[in-house]
Amino acid sequence: MELSIAAKLDQRLEKAPVVPLVVPADPQSSIETARALVAGGLTVIEVVLRTTAAMEALEQIVSAVPEATIGAGTVLSDQQARDVLQAGAQFIVSPGLYAPVVQVAQAAKVPVFPGVATASEAQNAWNMGLRTLKFFPASLAGGPAMLKAIGSVFGDVKFMPTGGVSAANLGDYLALPNVLACGGSWLTPKSAIAEGNYNVITKLAAEAVAIAKQSRG
């Protein structure tokens, strides 16, 4: 029996709990970036809606890199949520908590990870039925210390810290039991993409996988 999107996502994040962010300059370089990440062992990829090329790139990556689970990030409105689902996004990530985006994803039975930075936001999300949340901006919102504190009152919630996460602190986050995975843009440096040096991205991805294995045992 084929796994659901949520089950496949969980399985892949358990194996490699890192979600690289792809900021599309154009569809072709974004496809090559995604392929380089997969070659390094990262098969859950977030394409962020921060450029005019993002929507087209998302659709093309979904088609060209079927071995990865491709989601859309920086989804700010319910219309954008509908658009990314139409483009083939398999999960949705938002920088903040906006009920209409959550509702679109829930109606489509697609995983959604809204961003929270406070206990009040986490409580609102919990009451929407969400048990996995983005923690953003992680470094500015208190980092691992904040996640330890918030975990004491939201024992059934997992977090995906993003924002200020790097190879240097990845292990600190992944060592926490309430961290599902970490998101980050350090894995897709603009300079390497501009130069077409995708081996750099594969190397960074493999390094992240190694750190994750060490942190998770």
Single-letter amino acid code for the residue at 142: G
Residue 176 · residue 144 · CB < 8 Å: yes
Q: Is 213 marked active-site? A: no
Q: Which residue is catalytic, options 8, 15, 32, 46?
A: 46
Q: Is 46 marked active-site? A: yes
3-class secondary structure per residue, the chain: CCCCHHHHHHHHHHHCCEEEEECCCCHHHHHHHHHHHHHCCCCEEEEECCCCCHHHHHHHHHHHCCCCEEEEECCCCHHHHHHHHHCCCCCEECCCCCHHHHHHHHHCCCCEECEECCHHHHHHHHHCCCCEEEECCCCCCCHHHHHHHHHCCCCCCEEEEECCCCCCCHHHHHCCCCECCEEECCCCCHHHHHHCCHHHHHHHHHHHHHHHHHHHC
Q: Which residue is catalytic, options 67, 134, 195, 207?
A: 134
Tokens 């392929």 belong to residue? 35
- Bridging pattern class, strands 18-22 and 182-184: parallel
| Active-site residue list | 46, 134
